[in-house]
Amino acid sequence: MKEVLGITMGDPAGIGPEIVYRAWEQLKGRLKRPFVIFGTPEVYSRLQIEIESEFLRHMEGPTDIQGYQIGEEGKVSGELAYAFLEMSVEAVKTGRVQALLNAPVSKKAIAYSEPDFLGHTQYYEKHLGDGPAVMSFYGSEFCLCLLTHHVPIKTASHQFLNSDLKQIFLRGIQGFERIFGHKVRACVCGFNPHAGEGGLLSSGEEERLEAVLKDLKESGIFIEGPIAADSLFIPSIRKNFDLIFACHHDQGLIPFKATHAPKGLSLTFGLKVLRATVDHGTAFDKAGKGLASCESMLEAWELMDQAPF
Q: Is 171:215 a contact under the CB 8 Å cutoff?
A: no
Hey, where are the domains in the chain? 1-131+271-309, 141-262
Strand 265-271 relative to strand 186-189, pairing: unpaired
- Between 108 and 262, the more confident residue is 108
At residue 54, the pLDDT reads 95
Residue 286 has pLDDT above 90, yes or no: yes
Q: How far is CA 73 from CA 37, 110, 308, in A?
A: 22, 10, 36
User: Hey, how many other C-beta atoms are within 10 angstroms of the C-beta on 70?
Assistant: 19
Q: Is residue 290 exposed (0-12), middle (13-18) or buried (19+ Cβ within 10 Å)?
A: exposed
**In this structure, what are the phi and psi dihedrals at residue 13, rounded to the nearest 5 degrees?**
-85, -10
DSSP code per residue over 204-254 = SHHHHHHHHHHHHHHTT--EEEEE-HHHHTSHHHHTT-SEEEESSHHHHHH
Edge-first strand listing for the sheet containing 129-138: 59-60, 35-38, 5-8, 99-102, 274-278, 265-271, 129-138, 143-146, 243-246, 186-189, 223-227
At residue 291, the pLDDT reads 93
Q: Is 246:146 a contact under the CB 8 Å cutoff?
A: yes
* pLDDT per residue as tens digits for the range 158-209: 888 888 999 999 999 999 999 999 999 999 999 988 776 676 666 889 999 9
DSSP code per residue over 7-61 = EE---TTTTHHHHHHHHHHHHTTS--S-EEEES-THHHHHTT----HHHHTTEES
Identify the band that residue 243 occupies on the pLDDT scale cut at 50, 70 and 90.
Answer: very high
141-262 belongs to which homologous superfamily? Isopropylmalate Dehydrogenase (3.40.718.10)
User: Hey, how many other C-beta atoms are within 10 angstroms of the C-beta on 126?
Assistant: 12
Please give the average per-residue pLDDT across 206-231, as a whole number.
Answer: 95
Angle between helices 205-218 and 165-180 (to 10 degrees): 50
At residue 307, the pLDDT reads 87
Q: What is the pTM of this model?
A: 0.89
- Between 274 and 201, the more confident residue is 274
Separation of alpha carbons 152 and 200, rounded Å? 23
pLDDT, the chain, mean: 93
Q: Assign 101 to helix, strand or coil.
A: strand
Q: What is the CATH number of domain 1-131+271-309?
A: 3.40.718.10
